[in-house]
Amino acid sequence: MGHVYVDSIIEGKDGATKLKMFVDTGSTFTLLPQALADDLGIMLLPGRKQTIELADGTRKEYPVAIGDIEILGRKSIGERFLVAEVGEPVLGVLALAALGLAVDPTSGKVKPSRTWQARGPWEARPIA
């Protein structure tokens, strides 16, 4: 299938930016580079860190942050990110699931996995 990228909007208290994110279905969490998190004012949760195991088996601890993410017109407010030493933003499966999205293995594209309904400017949720 190759590498999958998706257009997204990441938003923090100091602004928003459009960017392509690498979609990693083997990553639980969405990872943002420190410089991007700083530029957007992505809010770090004081004292909150998450330990993750990398593909090579090593374990690392990263600060937990909160921001907004939008992909394919679906927006999640207060999504959890890890601020990590990554060369590019990585979209993990928790954010994909929160947005009702999945990677289509036949096309290599991110597509809706369920219907989605906006309930107001601050809340969106899937239709059961």
Residues above pLDDT 90, as percent of the chain: 81
DSSP classification of residue 2: -
The helix/strand/coil state of 113 is coil
Question: What token pair was written down for 73?
Answer: 């017109």
Give this prediction's pTM: 0.85
- How many other CB atoms sit within 10 Å of the CB of residue 10? 26
The 10s digit of each residue's pLDDT in 48-58 is 999 999 889 99
**72 within 8 A of 81, measured Cβ to Cβ:** no
Question: What token pair was written down for 69?
Answer: 């993410």
Between the alpha carbon of residue 36 and those of residues 39, 55, 85, the distances in Å are 5, 23, 11
- How many other CB atoms sit within 10 Å of the CB of residue 7? 12
Q: Confidence band (pLDDT; 50, 70, 90) for 120?
A: very low
Domains of the chain: 4-126 (2.40.70.10)
Q: Residue 127 pLDDT more than 90?
A: no
The 10s digit of each residue's pLDDT in 10-38 is 999 999 999 999 999 999 999 999 999 99
Residue bearing tokens 């699931």: 97
